[in-house]
Amino acid sequence: MDYGGLVKRALDIMWKFKYLWIFGFFLEFGSGGGGGFGNLPDKFKAPVDDFFGGIPLMSIIIPLILIGLVVFVLFLILYIISQGGLIHCVSRIESGENPTLRDGWSAGVKNFWRILGIAIIMLIFFFAAAVVTLGPFVVLLFVYKILGLLSAIILIPLFMVLFAVIMLINLYSYRVCIIEGKGVFDSIAGGWETLKSNLGKSLIVALIGIGSTIIYIIGFLIVGLLLALPFIALGIINLFLGIALGGLVGLIYIAVASGAWGTYIDSLWTLAFLEMKKLKPVEAEA
């Protein structure tokens, strides 16, 4: 396998097909969270209540939590659609076609439930691996501290190996589903077969992905710092204007950078999968 060619091709797709950055963005921001302040001590509740003009704290927190849940679900839906859409578009590009954003969106919607089913099953596998490995470690740590520490030498590396295996099967299962048009369980079985038959290649691609991530993070921070310098200078003159304009530019920068990055890394795995399988992409079955 030409690994350098895979990286070059993934970068080429990322740069030439910028509309895929939309899918890449939602792949990077496909989850969210929320929280509350119901257990705040009274000495902290009073100032907060005063800030909100005497409005009961929970009447503000509960709507915020509900909004957070809605946003989380929305991003989760867009994440699943984007996963299917990006794999579909990259496979089509490799077959010599010129897919549109609408084509990718349609493929993502069509395969939504299958991708969701794969994600749920792989999440169950992940929790099972955590219970089998980290569970005994935690129990032993509380009961026999020394024995718990010794068990960490075996159990923690074992968890890391299982986690890596599950993640790789998950990556390949999505691609089996979208490119080969298989169902949930057949896709997971196909993902396992792909990993088992290409373990060495998978590890090399994973290392390339890790190296690419390190380079991306360093570049992201350097460019972000350079972009921030003018707004830091502006903030010295006018704090509000510096924060407002800097925040706006920062959000745009994060969205663009994460979209491009998500497109690249997902394309890399799709190209690697196609190379491993040596198959021509076919239209996924309904």
| Phi, psi angles (nearest 5°) of residue 114 | -70, -40
Closest to 280 in 3D by CA, of 130, 97, 79, 110:
97
The structure's pTM equals 0.80
Distance of CA 278 to the CA centre of its chain: 26
CA distances from 238 to 95, 242, 244, 249 (A): 54, 6, 10, 16
Q: What is the pLDDT at residue 1?
A: 79
Domain boundaries, the chain: 3-277
Closest to 194 in 3D by CA, of 209, 179, 207:
179
CA distances from 253 to 25, 86, 227, 229 (A): 12, 21, 9, 14
**Mean pLDDT per 10-residue section of the chain, whose length is 286 residues:** 89 92 84 38 42 57 83 90 94 90 92 95 94 84 76 87 94 94 94 93 94 94 93 86 90 93 93 81 42
Q: What is the pLDDT at residue 282?
A: 45
98 secondary structure, DSSP code:
-
